[in-house]
């Protein structure tokens, strides 16, 4: 397939939203229209294509310059998104009430073909990359744009949304610092970070946390309590504890609140467990703040806007130069093209010897190890 065949490009956003998605959409639309191509939005991930009875036109709608005017700074995605009902493992209820996961990717390819679309730009995390890979193998021209506030996708320097999340979590710590100090309390702050602790680490160091618990470093609660006692002895009667939702104790596992077919398991509750244990073991009055989805909302920082716009424009350039099956990735000062197959299933964990971890330790921050 050559770029000369490109007439209609579809764009979809999948997985959890991230500040910067609208900036990607705007860059894709403006760059695509500039080349004389038509750009179509896909509503709510792939739901529209799989549920034609609910979505007119397969959930596809034509995007004009007017539609993307003034959206760069807006959180969320004008297309809608979904992290349920993965088309490769679509949950179907069987007559006996059990759930069976089926691959519905052929139907997606057929739906796109029905609407004369053979080119897709998919913006998403690891799940979206896996779907993109299958669609490519089934003949579609596909470019992937990486996205996650967790910053845990390998093969790209950073993902948009992460900087916004870190800025917000840092501001939250700043605010909690004064109230914790005023009351002489322990404040536990839980942030997103399912498998990797990037948000907890970067915001924790920037916001002067005393303890940071991340999935990469299983924690011993006694070490956390020792830190609180050490601070007490130094006349610091308050402590800030940053906990990634995926943190795990040395003798336990991550706190899962829900298993569901067709989607990743839902995490939650680790902050509460840590806060409860601290209060019990230290006798210190302890409060918990779960930042959760606040981290995914709001206006993207200038940094996130810029990388989102760059990746969106790069996706169109990749198509123009005949690429397919690649993910546009940040490799400062460049954007490079990485084969999607190489990017799938590759997590970027916090390296235990990275400079930020070393800096944290030099500052006296405890990881519970
Ligand atoms: O976007 C990734 C993520 O933020 C994870 O850290 C978190 O576990 C998950 O999304 C929660 O997603 P939701 O509540 O939308 O299912």
- In the chain, what are the domains? 3-160+300-332 (3.40.50.450), 162-297+351-362 (3.40.50.460)
Whether 47 is in the pocket of ligand 1, judged by its Cβ within 6 Å, is no
Mean pLDDT of 82-91: 89
- Residue 149 CB neighbour total at 10 angstroms: 28
Of 302, 289, 291, 70, nearest to 164 (Cα)?
302
Mean pLDDT of 351-357: 98
Beta strand 211-213 pairing with 239-244: parallel
Residues 45/120, Cβ–Cβ less than 8 Å = no
Q: Which one of 83, 147, 215, 304 would you pick to mutate in the ligand 1 pocket, going by the greatest count of ligand atoms within 8 A of its CB?
A: 83
Whether 194 is in the pocket of ligand 1, judged by its Cβ within 6 Å, is yes
CA of 229 from ligand 1 middle (Å) equals 34
Whether 288 is in the pocket of ligand 1, judged by its Cβ within 6 Å, is no
The closest-lying atom of ligand 1 relative to the alpha carbon of residue 16 is 1
pLDDT of res. 3: 59
Q: Which one of 194, 259, 304 would you pick to mutate in the ligand 1 pocket, going by the greatest count of ligand atoms within 8 A of its CB?
A: 194
| Burial of 261: CB neighbours in 10 Å, binned 0-12, 13-18, 19+ | middle
User: Which pTM value belongs to this model?
Assistant: 0.95
Residue 1 has pLDDT above 60, yes or no: no
Could you tell me which residues are beta bridge partners of residue 144? 122, 327
Residues 273/279, Cβ–Cβ less than 8 Å = no
Of 292, 279, 296, 283, nearest to 241 (Cα)?
279
Residue 36 has pLDDT above 60, yes or no: yes
Q: pLDDT tens digits for 211-266?
A: 999 999 999 999 999 999 999 999 999 999 999 999 999 999 999 998 877 677 89
pLDDT of res. 291: 98
Length of the chain: 369
pLDDT of res. 2: 53
Please tell me which residue, 85 or 92, carries the higher pLDDT value.
92
Count of helices and strands (H, E) across the chain: 11, 15
Residue 52 has pLDDT above 90, yes or no: no
pLDDT of res. 352: 97
Residue 66 CA to residue 74 CA, distance in Å, equals 15
Q: What is the 3-state secondary structure (H, E, C) of 286-311?
A: EEEEECHHHHHCCCCCHHHHHHHHHH
Residue 186 has pLDDT above 80, yes or no: yes
**Residues 6+ away with beta carbon under 8 Å from 124:** 12, 13, 14, 15, 81, 131, 132, 144, 145, 146, 147
CA of 192 from ligand 1 middle (Å) equals 7
Q: How confident is the model at residue 85 (pLDDT cuts 50, 70, 90)?
A: confident
Residue 61 CA to residue 43 CA, distance in Å, equals 8
CA of 112 from ligand 1 middle (Å) equals 28
The closest-lying atom of ligand 1 relative to the alpha carbon of residue 18 is 1
Mean pLDDT of 364-369: 98
Residue having the nearest C-alpha atom to atom 12 of ligand 1 = 16
CA of 19 from ligand 1 middle (Å) equals 13
The two tokens of residue 120 are 């897709």
3-class DSSP state of 252: coil
pLDDT of res. 178: 97
pLDDT of res. 4: 60
The two tokens of residue 203 are 């915001």
Catalytic residues: 150
Residue 108 has pLDDT above 80, yes or no: yes
Residue 299 CA to residue 163 CA, distance in Å, equals 11
pLDDT of res. 260: 76
Q: pLDDT tens digits for 265-302?
A: 899 999 999 999 999 999 999 999 999 999 999 999 99
The two tokens of residue 22 are 């609208």
Residue with token string 């009430």: 97
Residue 348 has pLDDT above 80, yes or no: yes
The two tokens of residue 180 are 């914790």
The closest-lying atom of ligand 1 relative to the alpha carbon of residue 263 is 16
The two tokens of residue 39 are 């750009």
Whether 193 is in the pocket of ligand 1, judged by its Cβ within 6 Å, is yes
Whether 126 is in the pocket of ligand 1, judged by its Cβ within 6 Å, is no
Name the average pLDDT for the chain: 95
CA of 40 from ligand 1 middle (Å) equals 26
């Amino acid at each position: 397939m050559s770029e000369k065949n490109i007439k209609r490009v579809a764009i979809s956003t999948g997985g959890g939203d991230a500040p910067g998605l609208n900036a990607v959409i705007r860059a894709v639309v403006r760059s695509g229209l500039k080349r004389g191509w038509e750009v179509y939005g896909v509503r709510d991930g792939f739901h529209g294509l799989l549920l034609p009875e609910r979505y007119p036109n397969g959930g596809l709608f034509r995007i004009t310059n007017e539609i993307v005017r003034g959206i760069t700074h807006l959180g969320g995605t004008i297309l809608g998104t979904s992290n349920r009902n993965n088309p490769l493992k679509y949950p179907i209820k069987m007559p006996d009430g059990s759930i069976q996961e089926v691959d519905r990717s052929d139907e997606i390819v057929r739906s796109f073909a029905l609407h004369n679309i053979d080119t897709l730009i998919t913006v998403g995390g690891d799940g979206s990359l896996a779907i993109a890979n299958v669609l490519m193998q089934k003949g579609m021209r596909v470019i992937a744009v990486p996205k996650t506030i967790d910053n845990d996708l390998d093969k790209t320097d950073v993902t948009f949304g992460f900087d916004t999340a870190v800025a917000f979590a840092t501001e939250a710590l700043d605010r909690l610092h004064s109230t914790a100090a005023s009351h002489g309390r322990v404040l536990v702050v839980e942030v997103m970070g399912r498998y990797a602790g990037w948000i907890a680490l970067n915001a924790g160091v920037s916001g002067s946390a005393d303890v940071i618990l991340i999935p990469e470093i299983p924690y011993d609660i006694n070490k956390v309590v020792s830190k609180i006692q050490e601070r007490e002895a130094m006349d610091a009667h308050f402590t800030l504890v940053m906990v990634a939702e995926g943190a795990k104790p040395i003798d336990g596992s991550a706190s899962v609140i829900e298993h569901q077919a067709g989607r990743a398991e839902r995490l939650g509750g680790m902050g509460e467990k840590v806060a409860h244990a601290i209060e019990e073991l230290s006798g210190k009055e302890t409060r918990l703040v779960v930042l959760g989805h606040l981290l995914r909302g709001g206006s993207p920082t200038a940094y996130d806007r810029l990388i989102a716009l760059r990746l969106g424009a790069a996706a169109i350039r990749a198509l123009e130069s005949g690429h397919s099956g690649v993910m546009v990735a940040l490799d400062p000062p460049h954007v490079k093209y990485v084969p999607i197959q190489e990017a799938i299933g590759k997590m970027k964990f916090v390296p235990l010897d990275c400079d930020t971890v070393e800096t944290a330790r030099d500052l006296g921050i405890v990881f519970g190890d």
